């Protein structure tokens, strides 16, 4: 597993045009799956720093109202990037 501080950028990748690498200077957390290395390599080629993170479980929130309010705020004012 990679530590968040580890960088996958090389000297040649830094010199590549950011137009060819739309994820340059972005960090993407990738949950562990069977296709992890393939997805991670695709993201790295597009300039992203990849942080592998174990996906332990997905549970429903006990605070349904809090989640609903967050979703309403997000819909009203969406962020530039949102990746699940």
pLDDT tens-digit map of 12-29: 445 556 668 888 888 877
User: pTM for the full model?
Assistant: 0.38
pLDDT at residue 16, rounded to an integer = 55
Contact (Cβ atoms closer than 8 angstroms) between residue 43 and residue 23: yes
Q: Using one digit for the tens of pLDDT, what is the confidence trace for 40-77?
A: 888 889 888 888 877 667 788 999 999 999 999 999 99
Position 10 scores a pLDDT of 46
Alpha-carbon distance of 13 to 5, in angstroms, equals 18
């Amino acid at each position: 597993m990679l530590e968040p501080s580890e960088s996958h950028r090389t000297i040649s990748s830094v010199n590549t045009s950011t137009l060819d690498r739309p994820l340059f200077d972005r960090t993407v957390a990738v949950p562990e799956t069977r296709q992890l290395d393939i997805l991670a390599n695709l993201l790295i080629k597009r300039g992203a720093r990849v942080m592998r993170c174990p996906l332990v479980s997905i549970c429903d929130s006990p605070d349904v109202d809090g989640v609903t309010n967050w979703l309403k705020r997000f819909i009203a004012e969406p962020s530039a990037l949102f990746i699940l």
